[in-house]
């Protein structure tokens, strides 16, 4: 008989047998992979909510000056003044129709305000005061308004006797106006170039430069005054 000799290693296993494979850990559940993203989302939401709660909402500017009562003449030739604007916030500017430089720019800014507040309708009024009332008659102002596309239902142009206009502009609005003589002996009209926001109680809420930032601010504040 032929004998068979089995080769075994010291551990008692067959030398030719394949070594046992090490056990591999089971893959983690799919939801475990989403856990960090869930935490991130919660933290982000909390930070966002905190910023919304902590960040104060913009508020309307406080009154800085009371306007005295006044009555002038509008571009239809009718009396018009503070009593007609009672309960209506308005934005005012100061120009004269024969001005070749600054005034057209100011009027175009008012046109921009008119467009950006069109949704407010007659809730917000626009008022332009002539600082050369001796030249700017109601008829002249009406033509000036038509030239720039002024909405007759919410934009009023005012003129009147020079003394009364000066009282309103200088003493009421605290806006400069007047005439000065040039070295050539020519009288030039000068005036302030800022826009003014007035609330429905006749109180001035702010003075604004007629630049991009100023227009943005006066439109925003006018809406805040209306929402109060």
Q: Residues comprising the binding site for Cu cation?
A: 99, 103, 191
Strands 177-181, 155-159: pairing is unpaired
Residue 92, sorted as left (phi over 0), alpha (psi -120 to 50) or beta, turns out to be: beta
Binding site, by residue number, is: 99, 103, 191
3-class secondary structure, 189:
strand
Give the 3-state DSSP-derived string for 113-166, with helices as H, strands as E and coil as C: HHHHCHHHHHHCEEEEEECCCCCCCHHHHHHHHHHCCCCCCCEEEEECCHHHHH
φ and ψ of 72, to 5 deg:
-120, -155
3-class secondary structure, 25:
coil
Taking the CB of residue 114, how many other CB atoms lie within 10 A of it?
18
Taking the CB of residue 177, how many other CB atoms lie within 10 A of it?
21
Euclidean distance between CA atoms 130 and 136, whole angstroms? 7
């Amino acid at each position: 008989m032929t004998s068979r000799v089995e080769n075994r290693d010291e551990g008692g296993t067959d030398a030719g047998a394949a070594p046992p494979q090490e056990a591999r850990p089971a893959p983690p559940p799919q939801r475990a992979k989403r856990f960090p993203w869930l935490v991130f989302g919660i933290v982000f939401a909390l930070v966002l909510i905190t910023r919304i709660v902590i960040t104060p909402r913009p508020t309307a500017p406080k009154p800085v000056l009371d306007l005295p009562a006044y009555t002038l003449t509008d571009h239809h030739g009718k009396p018009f003044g503070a009593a007609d604007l009672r309960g209506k916030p308005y934005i005012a500017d100061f120009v004269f129709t024969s001005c070749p430089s600054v005034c057209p720019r100011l009027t175009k800014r008012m046109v921009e305000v008119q467009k950006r507040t069109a949704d407010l309708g007659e809730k917000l009024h626009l008022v332009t005061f002539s600082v050369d009332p001796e030249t700017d008659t109601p008829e002249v102002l009406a033509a000036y308004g038509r030239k720039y596309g002024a909405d007759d239902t919410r934009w009023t142009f005012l003129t009147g006797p020079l003394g009364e206009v000066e009282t309103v502009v200088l003493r009421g609005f605290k806006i400069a106006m007047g005439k000065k003589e040039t070295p050539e002996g020519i009288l030039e009209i000068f005036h302030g170039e800022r826009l003014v926001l007035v609330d429905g109680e006749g109180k001035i809420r702010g003075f604004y430069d007629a630049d991009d930032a100023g227009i943005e601010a006066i439109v925003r504040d006018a809406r805040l005054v209306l929402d109060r």
